[in-house]
Amino acid sequence: MKIALAQQNYHIGNFEANTIKIITAIQQAEAQGADLVVFTELSICGYPPRDFLEFADFIKKSQACIQTILPYTKNIGVVLGCPTVNPIADGKDLYNSAYVLHQEKIIGVQHKTLLPTYDVFDEYRYFEPAHEWNCITFKNKKLAITVCEDIWNLGDNPLYKICPMDELVKQSPDVMINISASPFDYTHVEDRKAIIKKNVAKYKLPMVYCNTVGSQTEIVFDGGSIVMDVSQNIVAELNYFQEDLQLVELLDNGNFAQSIITPAVDVPNQELAPTTYEALLHTDKIYNAIVMGIRNYFQKMGFKKAILGSSGGIDSAVTLALACQALGAENVTAVLMPSQFSSDHSVSDAEQLSKNLGNPYHTVAIKPIFDVFMQQLKPIYQDLPFSLAEENIQARSRGNVLMAIANKFNYILLNTSNKSELATGYGTLYGDMAGGIAVLGDTYKMQVYALANYINRNQEIIPNHIIHKAPSAELRPNQKDSDSLPDYSILDQILYQYIERRQGPDEIKAMGFDAALVDRTLKMVNTNEYKRNQFCPIIRVSSKAFGVGRRMPIVGKYLG
């Protein structure tokens, strides 16, 4: 049997475009001689549709797309994902389903069993889990079809009591097919390969695993669909961060006609879960994920041009370089906004960066704006000493300048804050925390430096002076980030343990970190939850990003 994997980038709720894309891939697969073409989880409507699923019209349109696609299945089988109405009054209204179409008919439907409710997932809010499992026969082959999370329980996951493949294997299937929408994080490629390998080893069946690609606001899907033979060798691995369609031929012995590209011995046996912070881990993947995240956000929202503040610092420099790669340098405007505290090199570094990238830039000095604020506030401030209030007026002046230009020319403001700053509250609400989407909000400061070096891997794009100078907000004379924050190389390690690994204060201190520093850091994280609660969407690249996947009470007292 010849099976095509169609790894595609869908637009949530754009039924016409999604359907056209699916039909086009069906025709391409058929032209290549495929017997069956496999799409991804909820491919009809896009994933994750979230509360769109509560609209009856959304479900009606999803089902109508199935009918539109059926005429194209006369000579080829199709596996795709679509929400299904649950006809039973008890339970949730919908199923998350895999459909098998052939000869212009629906020949089988298998509902998703395991509905994740952790991190960015909230599927049990909408879907009823499957209560029965049946292989679907297609051209004398029994297909054991599962949906995404269904393969992540092999009987050892305490979150779930049911193991769908344990039920399906009783019917002697010939191949496992998993349609997935598995989000990217910089350790997840190894995780997926390991779990696919475990399934193949346990059930002694080959697996065709088709994953979606593309960014949906904050969630990035990296593709990387995989075909693994019965001996746990990878015989096909689709491209990462781009659409792809590949054909494999399944043989009767559970192997494939294709050559092995990764032998079983080189496929990970376990998930990658670093116990310590590794700032240089998979920088290339993070780079590609963020570029795709920016590009898809603008494409799917119908935006064309971006704007950001260019300070001559590392965060804005990396953000600018990433945005130029994603959108084209001509579509990204940088605004230099020096104050009386800005160093000469900050301005010259920012100018040189834009010259290297070829993007348009403007200079708007904020001292006159700041002076007007101070003049108007003098009756209230009187002779009180310079403080954080005056620093924040500068940041908010910059935010107002950026938003004024953005509004005038229909630009979208890119936020440049990094995860270390967001974690500790080192940012000004309605100032440098303004933006439509956060580019670096899920990368710690040391990862930002790693990205800068990656951007410069072939030539100097970001001026070396930006990379090597001490970071500073330049909101008061001779200011350095280290005046307010611990050294980033230590801070990032503590934050990683607390945020990604959910280690408490005692556990972190037991690792050898200074007790007072741990207490201070965790207090900063928790007391600044109110700032993050008002922040823009963050492109997710880690296993635990601020945003929809991390829900903390604003007024909580617990520090760990």
In this structure, the answer to whether residues 507 and 381 fall within a common structural domain is yes
pLDDT band at 156 (very low <50, low <70, confident <90, very high): confident
In this structure, the answer to whether residues 252 and 322 fall within a common structural domain is no
Domain holding 222, by residue range, is: 2-266
pLDDT digits (tens, 9 = 90+) for 301-310: 999 999 999 9
pLDDT digits (tens, 9 = 90+) for 98-130: 999 999 999 999 999 999 999 999 999 999 999
**Residue 485 placed within a domain:** yes
pLDDT band at 485 (very low <50, low <70, confident <90, very high): confident
d(CA 528, CA 90) in angstroms, rounded, equals: 42
**Residue 403 placed within a domain:** yes
Assess whether pLDDT exceeds 70 at residue 176.
yes
pLDDT score, position 451:
98
pLDDT band at 486 (very low <50, low <70, confident <90, very high): confident
How many domains does the chain contain in total? Answer: 2
Q: Pick from 441, 21, 463, 8: which is nearest to 217 by CA?
A: 441
In this structure, the answer to whether residues 422 and 358 fall within a common structural domain is yes
In this structure, the answer to whether residues 323 and 421 fall within a common structural domain is yes
Average pLDDT, the chain: 96
**Residue 30 placed within a domain:** yes
pLDDT digits (tens, 9 = 90+) for 362-373: 999 999 999 999
In this structure, the answer to whether residues 414 and 455 fall within a common structural domain is yes
Assess whether pLDDT exceeds 90 at residue 342.
no
Residue type, 149: E
In this structure, the answer to whether residues 172 and 80 fall within a common structural domain is yes
Instruction: Please list the helix, strand and coil fractions of the chain in percent, rounded to the nearest 5, in that order.
Output: 40, 20, 40
In this structure, the answer to whether residues 293 and 262 fall within a common structural domain is no
d(CA 42, CA 81) in angstroms, rounded, equals: 4
Instruction: Look up the pTM and report it.
Output: 0.96
How many other CB atoms are found less than 10 A from the CB of residue 340? 13
- Residue 135's CATH number: 3.60.110.10
DSSP labels, 336-402: E---TT--HHHHHHHHHHHHHHT--EEE---HHHHHHHHHHHHHHHTTPPP-HHHHHHHHHHHHHHH
The token pair at 108 is 């089988």
pLDDT band at 341 (very low <50, low <70, confident <90, very high): confident
Compute the average pLDDT of residues 292-313: 97
Helix, strand, or coil (residue 521): helix
Residue type, 58: F
Q: Which residues are catalytic?
A: 41, 112, 148
In this structure, the answer to whether residues 395 and 496 fall within a common structural domain is yes
Long-range pairs of 141-144 with CB within 8 A, sequence gap ≥ 24: 141/1, 141/174, 141/175, 141/250, 142/171, 142/172, 142/173, 142/174, 142/175, 143/79, 143/100, 143/108, 143/173, 143/174, 143/175, 143/177, 144/168, 144/169, 144/171, 144/173, 144/175, 144/176, 144/177, 144/205
pLDDT digits (tens, 9 = 90+) for 509-535: 999 999 999 999 999 999 999 999 999
